[in-house]
Amino acid sequence: MSIERIGRGPPLVLVHGWALHGGVFRPLVERLSDRFTLHVVDLPGHGHSRDSAVPLTLQACVEAICEVTPPAAWLGWSLGGLFALKAAAVSGQVRGLAMVSSVPRFTTAPDWPHAVAPAVFAQFGRDLAQDYRGTLERFIALDTLGTPESREALRALRSMLYARGEPTTAALQAGLALLERSDLRYTLPGLDLPSLWIAGARDRLVHPRGMEAAAAQVPQARFVEIAGGGHAPFLAHLDQVEAALVPFLDTVFRAD
């Protein structure tokens, strides 16, 4: 699995979302690389890890990342948050957890109303077989809908989508299955580390109330909602994300 190391200072692992790659974090990397050593992951089947033999499962990817990274804070965006949360629950290497537009469960349940209907991800899976590129375009458009800066953020995501080559169809289907079926809510009360939950107020994929509800179950959690933010707030609202993230990381590493 490809993990790019950039910058200097305390270590931070970055895990991207569905259909993209570590390059999506470029604006954040540029802001943080003079203060932190960033370990930027390309998940299996994506970007420079397109030909990786590591299965795209939570346990396998967490083990593979932990094998080659030091004890660190982890940041997961969207689908990447499932990997970061899993690592925080099972690995002693995670010093702090930042969840950006991510939740322990992405689909609705009777006791989890602020989420997406399971049929949404199932439809994306069917659409992939019919129109690969069109389906990816529709998904990244959902990443930015509803924000005043949506056109700028959508252009940024489009420019990054194929910058490291196309993700494999198998990886896209496996990622959708993780989004549709994963439920890590059971891990929340036992998280014995600081966590930061950053939500976009206008996110169409991860409802901020779902993130707030998840954070409320974690002992050392802080919830931040970015006014006007969408699903990729580190693109259109980088200043606000940095303002929340840097003090959190400084606190994590001071305590460590």
Q: Rounded CA gap, 102 and 89, in Å?
A: 15
Q: How many CA atoms lie within 13 A of 13 on its CB side?
A: 32
Which of 181, 213, 218 shows the shortest CA–CA distance to 111? Answer: 213
Alpha-carbon distance of 93 to 143, in angstroms, equals 30
Per residue in 155-194, is it b (16+ CB within 10 Å) or e — as a string? ebbeebbeebebbbeebbebbbebbbebebbebbeebebb
Q: Which of 52, 78, 101, 102 is catalytic?
A: 78
In the residue annotation, 127 being an active-site residue is answered as: no
* 250 is known as an active-site residue: no
Sheet containing strand 94-100, edge to edge, reads 3-7, 37-41, 11-15, 72-77, 94-100, 195-200, 221-226
Between CA 70 and CA 9 the distance in angstroms is 12
64 membership: H or E segment, kind and range: helix 58-68
Residue type present at position 120: V
The single residue of 52, 182, 203, 237 carrying the catalytic annotation is: 203
Cβ neighbors of 105 (< 8 A, separation 6 or more) are 112, 115, 182, 183, 184, 185
Question: How many Å apart are CA 155 and CA 234, to the nearest integer?
Answer: 14
- Give the distance between the most distant pair of CA atoms in the chain: 51
Question: Is 16 one of the catalytic residues?
Answer: no
Q: Which positions are annotated as active-site residues? A: 78, 203, 231
